[in-house]
């Protein structure tokens, strides 16, 4: 089993905290095969982010929601390792999905599997890419 750490809140929620088109379908596909946790840089508690996800009915797909406020100053390899440990997964069972190239590179240098989503429409491609990673056909 794999743990998917989604650092994609801007790809799931609009600035007005509405679900973006396709978010529900992508999360449903991901959660049918993987455990999902959300992480975000924020000085607010994870409960605030959880509430925003619940308000859009996306919260049902997440096993946990955390922010850097509770785990560290910003999303980093250390924060991802802590999320994995809290969730009961080894770091080799983790895939971080992010739209931030610098974070992706930092995580890769720390030998954390990372899937970089390069545009707002990329959330729709995430389920298939995760399947490729889990099957061993893709090693990002």
Domains and CATH numbers, the chain: 3-135 (3.40.50.1000)
Q: What's residue 120's pLDDT?
A: 58
Asked whether the predicted pLDDT for residue 122 surpasses 80, the reply is no
The verdict on pTM exceeding 0.85 is yes
Asked whether the predicted pLDDT for residue 140 surpasses 80, the reply is no
Give the distance, in angstroms, between the CA of residue 17 and the centroid of all CA atoms in the same chain: 17
Average pLDDT, stretch 24-43? 89
Average pLDDT, stretch 101-121? 89
């Amino acid at each position: 089993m794999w743990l998917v750490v989604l650092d994609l809140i801007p790809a799931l929620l609009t600035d007005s905290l509405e679900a973006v088109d396709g978010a529900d379908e992508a999360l449903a596909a991901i959660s049918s095969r993987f455990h999902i946790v959300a992480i975000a840089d924020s000085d607010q508690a994870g409960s605030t982010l959880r509430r925003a996800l619940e308000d859009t009915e996306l919260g049902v797909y997440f096993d946990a929601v955390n922010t850097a406020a509770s785990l560290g100053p910003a999303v980093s390899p250390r924060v991802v390792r802590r999320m994995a440990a809290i969730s009961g997964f080894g770091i080799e069972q983790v895939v971080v999905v992010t739209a931030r190239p610098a974070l992706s590179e930092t995580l890769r240098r720390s030998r954390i599997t990372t899937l970089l989503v390069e545009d707002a429409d990329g959330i729709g491609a995430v389920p298939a890419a995760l399947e490729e990673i889990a099957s061993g056909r893709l090693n990002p």
